[in-house]
């Protein structure tokens, strides 16, 4: 306690120096007076009395010095001195200070901002109990669908037969029709098995969890709200428990509310969870073993590895395949850590960005270090002078260390502030539907881990910045430094060292530029992928009608015709089509079939199927290759018909015309479906996935109460969206109209386009900064070299060298550095590009045009950067150069 | 050096405290003189060393200081013992006694063997 109090007062003593100093002088003066008085009384002369008193005190200055040491902390005292000196130095060279701090801040900003994303997505554990023991469980179909949904009957068998999971649960995120006093609306919810929250190890913050057996059809329907839904819909009122909400025409009792920080990324933003209550009506999806609609999540038993669990589930899948060949042929199993399911797709992108930001940081640090070196060079005389006046080598090094860390601290603080802004900007650039699938980004920010990372970077940078000039200091000596215009070996040493730094910078810039070039090219290729449609002037709207009123086939067909009719009469509408699913989505919603009249050995013919209206394909701008489009008369009363895409025709009817061929269900029994047309390949799935064979069937023969409208317009397609929504509302307020969009926007916002665009832009941003920094660095080295060789150049010119010779002299030096840097960079970028080949689309890592373009850009910039100092050198007047000494 | 003993580190503080306890509030010069006199002039004290010691005591809260006027009308800074200072004296005295007692035993023992 006493020691602490004393220590605090000593630190405080640093700041109250002047008043203390005066008080000490007064006290010592009074001490001497008292002593002199005594000495005089003892009979000394006035002079002798003062001399003796002084002697006895042991010297005034020495006493003061000892006293000062006790008053504050000597180490801190000199530190404060150094800090003040550093601040003065910084103010004296605002250009240097500003540049160095800015570069440092930029490097820090990029790396910290990207690291915070890496931290939120990859480092921070999922908010579940013992999350590393959780796994995602999937059915799989070889090559077609590595991680597919489970069917409910399969799930029940897996749950019963497995020996590796302490529990296996189900979830299915989907839209529900939520009916309220203001009409119906679509709400995002999740159907779960009763143990869903228990397997995650998370309990509701209010109310109770589902109890075992609560997901059975016989149990009363219950629902647990998300925290956000509780706040938004019920104002956070605790008496929400016991109320009920109507979902899909069924009343559900609210029994609980989940905690605020609970999220389950795989279902996106969900407002509530309700239990499965599997339908037992034959033919419904829940009752069919071949209808795959749900995903599994499980907790591994103690000591069971993911591999063991996978082996066990695969053997169960084989067993089911044997028992139910009709529905389960080719159905395998997949098990992977839950975290992999959630963030696996983000990992390579984030790591790529982190490496990019890291490289930028390297360049920034190298750049600042060489700036510091140049300045240390110009301060050689100052240091030599201080050394000559008695400052120890250690004391001088400390000065550099202090200055280095002041620079880093300022730059880092500015960088952190910028990084915070950058995080917000990056977050706002993520389309909201993608962000909903990444709830772990919600608490993105400067948390302790991110700050620790920033601190570590700052520490390394600080060491670099303080040690480089110190090392430089050690290699010179005072006499040399003091000599006016001294041109010792030290100048040469630095030039070599600075040159090495520049080569590093140039090489790093090349790697980043090549990365940006490859990603940019991938993105371009992706946007120019053949979609098979004309995306401009296409407005889109999602429609959901309550099953109670529109669930029957004739009701759905009537609604479809009414919608098409009303929308067609809107001004500027050229064509209208509806489909159950729009292009540039997923390759899901598949159908199984066999070819009539061909031998069948249980092949897994599984292909996406879309139910479309008569004019849908025409509306999209697809081209009919043979046969005919659907007509209004292709309805329930007529034989089943289908249109297939080109990929389908090529795969199943190579060298033949697919038209008039027939397809059957897996049973192989009639009714058959006749192919009436072949249409060009439409990109139903993601842009970066090869178009799969697909089947289009008439909506009128395969109805649904949920579908999408596509409208080809004369005018700007965006402007028709409000009228489109109003039209649907006019038909029935109970129908939900969501996701108004344009096809162009849908393509641009699709996950693959977004991921490619964001990575290309970010890496391009890093690369441009890196290029600027590297070129500035090269300029610095060459300019310094020229300034060091002014005298030499003067002598050469006095002896008759022509300006051209001088140009060559300087450009040769720069050219050599640039050549080495570019060559090293190209080598490095081949490695880097191979590492990121997974993120490339339609572009190889060895993309020669990109490599050549980058080399060209860098060479041109390097030439420009060295031309300025070369010109200066060539315009040196020999007389001035020689006289400057 | 003379045959006078140098002041050991740490003992000076205790002497200053004890002086203040005996004489009440006193200025630095007075404390220094008193220590010398009490030691029967056997201690050689650089008066200057006293001031950092006093500052340390003040930082630790054992004494407080205040400007006042000396008996011969000189302005001087007077030091005064605090309650914490008194406690510190008690403790330091106990420690000292213990230490000297132990040391005395060692010295007599080794003396016996010689």
Average pLDDT, chain A: 86
Test A67 with B55 for CB contact under 8 angstroms: yes
Given this model, what pLDDT does residue A797 score? 83
Mean pLDDT of A58-64: 79
Given this model, what pLDDT does residue A154 score? 93
Which of A23, A34, A56 comes nearest B74 by C-beta? A34
Residue A884: band (very low, low, confident or very high) from pLDDT cuts 50, 70, 90: low
Choose from A285-294, A673-682, A859-868, B63-72 the range with maximum mean pLDDT: A673-682
User: pTM of this prediction?
Assistant: 0.72
Given this model, what pLDDT does residue A594 score? 85
Task: Name every residue in A having a CB less than 8 A away from some CB of B.
Answer: 2-3, 5-6, 9-10, 23-24, 26-28, 30-31, 33-35, 37-38, 56-60, 62-63, 66-67, 69-71
Report whether pLDDT(A486) > 50.
no
Given this model, what pLDDT does residue A74 score? 67
Report whether pLDDT(A137) > 90.
yes
Given this model, what pLDDT does residue B9 score? 58
**ipTM confidence:** 0.85
Residue B7: band (very low, low, confident or very high) from pLDDT cuts 50, 70, 90: low
- Token couple for A30: 């009074």
DSSP string, A287-302: G-TT-EEEEEEEEEPT
Given this model, what pLDDT does residue B112 score? 46
A430 contacts: CB under 8 Å, gap ≥ 6: A438, A441, A754, A758
Which of A37, A57, A67 comes nearest B72 by C-beta? A37
Mean pLDDT of A567-593: 88
pLDDT tens across A821-867, in order?
999 999 988 888 888 888 888 888 888 899 999 999 999 998 888 88
- Alpha-carbon gap, residue A812 to A326, rounded angstroms: 76
C-alpha distance from residue A482 to each of A276, A378, A431, A486, A705 (Å): 86, 12, 62, 8, 90
- Token couple for A114: 């990207």
Q: What are phi and psi of A151, to 5 degrees?
A: -90, 155
Torsion of CA A121, A124, A126, A128, to 10 degrees: -170
Outline where DSSP puts E strands in A403-481. none
Test A67 with B49 for CB contact under 8 angstroms: no
- Alpha-carbon gap, residue A690 to A687, rounded angstroms: 8
Q: Between these two residues, B7 and A824, which has the higher pLDDT value?
A: A824
Q: Between these two residues, A759 and A165, which has the higher pLDDT value?
A: A165
Report whether pLDDT(A91) > 60.
yes
Residue B100: band (very low, low, confident or very high) from pLDDT cuts 50, 70, 90: confident
Please answer whether residues A502 and A362 qualify as being in contact, where contact means their C-beta atoms are separated by less than 8 angstroms: no
B70 contacts in chain A (CB < 8 Å): 30, 34
- Alpha-carbon gap, residue B7 to B9, rounded angstroms: 7
Test A2 with B51 for CB contact under 8 angstroms: no
11-70 of B, contacting A, C-beta below 8 A: 27-30, 33, 46-49, 51-52, 55-56, 59-62, 70
pLDDT tens across A211-264, in order?
998 988 888 999 999 999 999 989 988 889 989 898 888 889 999 999 998 989
Given this model, what pLDDT does residue A697 score? 93
Return the percentage of chain A with pLDDT > 70, whole number.
95
Given this model, what pLDDT does residue B114 score? 38
Given this model, what pLDDT does residue A177 score? 83
- Alpha-carbon gap, residue B41 to B4, rounded angstroms: 8
A56 contacts in chain B (CB < 8 Å): 46-47
- Token couple for A744: 């162009």
Test A69 with B52 for CB contact under 8 angstroms: yes
A24 contacts in chain B (CB < 8 Å): 51
Given this model, what pLDDT does residue A353 score? 87
Residue A477: band (very low, low, confident or very high) from pLDDT cuts 50, 70, 90: low
Return the percentage of chain B with pLDDT > 90, whole number.
12
Other Cβ atoms within 10 Å of A281 Cβ, number: 7
Please answer whether residues A499 and A774 qualify as being in contact, where contact means their C-beta atoms are separated by less than 8 angstroms: no
Given this model, what pLDDT does residue A726 score? 92
Beta sheet of B63-69, edge-to-edge order = B26-27, B75-81, B63-69
Please answer whether residues A785 and A495 qualify as being in contact, where contact means their C-beta atoms are separated by less than 8 angstroms: yes
Report whether pLDDT(B42) > 90.
no
pLDDT tens across A326-367, in order?
788 888 899 999 998 888 878 888 888 898 899 889 888 888
Residue A322, classified by CB atoms within 10 Å of its CB into exposed (0-12), middle (13-18) or buried (19+), is exposed
- Alpha-carbon gap, residue B49 to A194, rounded angstroms: 80
pLDDT tens across A691-727, in order?
889 999 999 998 888 899 999 999 999 999 999 999 9
| B43 min Cα distance to partner chain A (Å) | 13
A233: DSSP letter: H
A598 contacts: CB under 8 Å, gap ≥ 6: none
pLDDT tens across A358-416, in order?
988 988 888 888 888 777 777 777 777 877 777 777 777 787 888 888 888 999 999 99
Report whether pLDDT(B1) > 50.
no
Q: Between these two residues, A181 and A486, which has the higher pLDDT value?
A: A181
Residue A473: band (very low, low, confident or very high) from pLDDT cuts 50, 70, 90: low
A6 contacts in chain B (CB < 8 Å): 56, 59-60
C-alpha distance from residue A297 to each of A264, A339, A384, A759 (Å): 11, 11, 70, 31
Residue A480: band (very low, low, confident or very high) from pLDDT cuts 50, 70, 90: low
- Token couple for A362: 């390297």
C-alpha distance from residue B10 to each of A180, A575, A702, B54, B57 (Å): 84, 100, 99, 11, 11
Tell me: cis bond preceding A671? Omega within 30 of 0 counts. Answer: yes
- Alpha-carbon gap, residue A449 to A457, rounded angstroms: 12
Which of A226, A200, A70, A235 has its CA nearest to residue A128? A200
Which of B28, B48, B70 comes nearest A62 by C-beta? B48
pLDDT tens across A773-817, in order?
888 888 877 887 787 777 788 888 888 888 888 888 888 888 888
Other Cβ atoms within 10 Å of A351 Cβ, number: 16
Test B51 with A34 for CB contact under 8 angstroms: no
Given this model, what pLDDT does residue A713 score? 94
Please answer whether residues A691 and A607 qualify as being in contact, where contact means their C-beta atoms are separated by less than 8 angstroms: no
Given this model, what pLDDT does residue A252 score? 92
Given this model, what pLDDT does residue A488 score? 47
Test B49 with A66 for CB contact under 8 angstroms: yes
pLDDT tens across A649-660, in order?
999 999 889 899
């Amino acid at each position: 306690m006493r020691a602490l109090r004393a220590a605090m007062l000593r630190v405080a003593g640093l700041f109250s120096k002047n008043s203390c100093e005066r008080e000490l002088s007064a006290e010592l003066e009074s001490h001497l007076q008292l002593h002199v008085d005594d000495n005089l009384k003892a009979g000394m002369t006035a002079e002798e009395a003062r001399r003796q008193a002084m002697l006895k005190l042991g010297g005034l200055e020495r006493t003061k010095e000892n006293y000062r040491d006790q008053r504050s902390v000597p180490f801190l005292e000199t530190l404060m001195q150094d800090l003040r000196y550093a601040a003065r130095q910084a103010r004296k060279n605002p250009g240097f200070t500003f540049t160095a701090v800015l570069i440092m801040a930029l490097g820090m900003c990029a790396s910290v901002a990207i690291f915070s994303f890496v931290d939120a997505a990859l480092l921070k554990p999922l908010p579940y109990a013992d999350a590393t023991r959780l796994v995602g469980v999937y059915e799989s179909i070889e090559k077609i669908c590595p991680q597919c949904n489970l069917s409910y009957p399969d799930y029940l068998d897996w749950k019963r037969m497995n020996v590796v999971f302490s529990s296996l649960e189900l979830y299915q995120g989907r839209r529900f029709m939520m009916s309220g006093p203001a009409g119906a609306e679509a709400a995002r919810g999740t159907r779960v098995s009763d143990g869903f929250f228990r397997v995650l190890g998370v309990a509701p913050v209010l109310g109770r969890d589902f109890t075992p057996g609560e997901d059975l059809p016989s149990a009363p329907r219950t629902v647990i709200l998300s925290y956000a839904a509780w706040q938004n819909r019920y104002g956070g009122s605790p008496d929400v428990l016991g109320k009920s909400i109507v979902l899909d025409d069924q009343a559900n009792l609210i029994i609980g509310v989940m905690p605020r920080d609970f999220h389950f990324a795989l279902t996106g933003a969900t407002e509530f969870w309700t239990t499965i209550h599997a339908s037992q009506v034959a033919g419904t999806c829940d009752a069919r073993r071949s209808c795959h609609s749900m995903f599994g999540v499980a907790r591994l038993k103690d000591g069971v590895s993911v591999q063991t669990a996978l082996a066990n589930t695969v053997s169960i899948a084989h067993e089911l395949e044997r028992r139910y060949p009709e529905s389960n042929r080719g159905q395998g199993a997949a098990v992977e850590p839950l975290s992999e399911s959630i963030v696996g797709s983000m990992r390579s992108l984030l790591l790529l960005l982190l490496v990019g930001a890291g490289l930028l940081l390297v360049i920034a640090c190298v750049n600042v270090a060489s700036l510091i070196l140049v300045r240390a060079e110009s301060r050689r005389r100052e240091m030599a002078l201080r050394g000559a006046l008695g400052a120890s080598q250690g004391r001088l090094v400390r000065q550099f260390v202090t200055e280095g860390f002041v620079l880093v601290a300022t730059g880092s603080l500015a960088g952190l502030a910028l990084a915070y802004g950058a995080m917000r900007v990056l977050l706002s650039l993520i389309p909201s539907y993608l962000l909903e699938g990444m709830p772990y980004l919600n608490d993105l920010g400067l948390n302790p881990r991110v700050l620790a990372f920033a601190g570590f970077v700052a520490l390394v940078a600080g060491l670099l910045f303080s040690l480089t000039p110190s090392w430089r200091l050690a290699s010179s000596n005072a006499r040399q430094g003091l000599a006016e215009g001294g041109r010792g070996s030290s100048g040469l040493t630095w030039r070599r060292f600075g040159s090495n730094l520049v080569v590093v910078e140039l090489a790093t810039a090349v790697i980043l530029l090549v990365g940006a070039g490859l990603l940019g090219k991938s993105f371009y290729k992706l946007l120019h992928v053949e979609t098979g449609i004309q995306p401009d002037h296409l407005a889109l709207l999602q429609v959901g009608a309550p099953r109670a009123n529109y669930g029957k086939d004739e009701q759905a067909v009537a609604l479809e015709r009414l919608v098409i009719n009303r929308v067609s009469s809107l001004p500027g509408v050229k064509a209208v089509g509806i489909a159950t699913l729009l292009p540039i989505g997923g390759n899901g919603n598949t159908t199984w079939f066999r070819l009539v009249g061909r031998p069948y050995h249980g092949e897994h013919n599984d292909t996406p199927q879309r139910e479309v209206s008569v004019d849908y394909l025409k509306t999209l701008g697809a081209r009919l290759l043979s046969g005919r489009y659907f007509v209004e008369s292709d309805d329930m009363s007529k034989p089943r018909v289908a249109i297939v895409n080109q990929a389908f025709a090529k795969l199943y009817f190579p060298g033949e015309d697919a038209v008039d061929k027939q397809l059957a269900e897996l049973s192989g029994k009639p009714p058959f479906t006749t192919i009436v047309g072949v249409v060009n390949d439409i990109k139903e799935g993601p842009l970066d996935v090869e178009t799969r064979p697909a089947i289009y069937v008439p909506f009128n023969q395969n109805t649904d109460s949920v579908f999408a409208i596509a409208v080809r317009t004369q005018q700007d397609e965006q402007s028709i969206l409000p009228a489109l929504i109003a039209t649907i509302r006019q038909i029935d307020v109970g129908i939900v109209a969501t996701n108004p969009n344009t096809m162009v926007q849908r393509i641009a916002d699709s996950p693959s386009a977004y991921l490619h665009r964001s990575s290309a832009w970010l890496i391009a941003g890093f690369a441009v900064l890196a290029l600027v920094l590297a070129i500035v660095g090269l300029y610095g080295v060459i300019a310094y070299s020229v300034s060091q060789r002014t005298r030499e150049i003067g002598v050469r010119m006095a002896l008759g060298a022509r300006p051209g010779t001088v140009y060559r002299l300087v450009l040769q030096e720069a050219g050599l550095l640039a050549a080495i840097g570019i060559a090293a960079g190209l080598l490095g970028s081949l490695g880097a590009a191979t590492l990121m080949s997974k993120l490339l689309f339609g572009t190889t890592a060895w993309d020669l045009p990109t490599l050549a373009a980058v080399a060209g850009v860098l060479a041109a910039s390097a030439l420009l950067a060295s031309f300025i100092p070369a010109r200066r050198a060539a315009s040196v007047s020999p007389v001035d150069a020689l006289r400057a000494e | 050096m003379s045959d006078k003993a140098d002041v050991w580190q740490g003992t000076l503080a205790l002497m200053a405290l004890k002086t203040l306890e005996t004489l009440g509030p006193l200025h630095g010069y007075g404390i220094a003189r008193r220590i010398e006199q009490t030691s029967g002039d056997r201690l050689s004290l650089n008066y200057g060393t006293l001031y950092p010691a006093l500052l340390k005591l003040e930082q630790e809260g054992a004494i407080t200081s205040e400007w006042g006027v000396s008996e011969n009308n000189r302005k001087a800074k007077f030091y005064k013992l605090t309650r914490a200072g008194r406690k510190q004296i008690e403790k330091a005295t106990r420690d000292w006694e213990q230490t000297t007692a132990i040391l005395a035993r060692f010295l007599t023992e080794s003396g016996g063997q010689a």
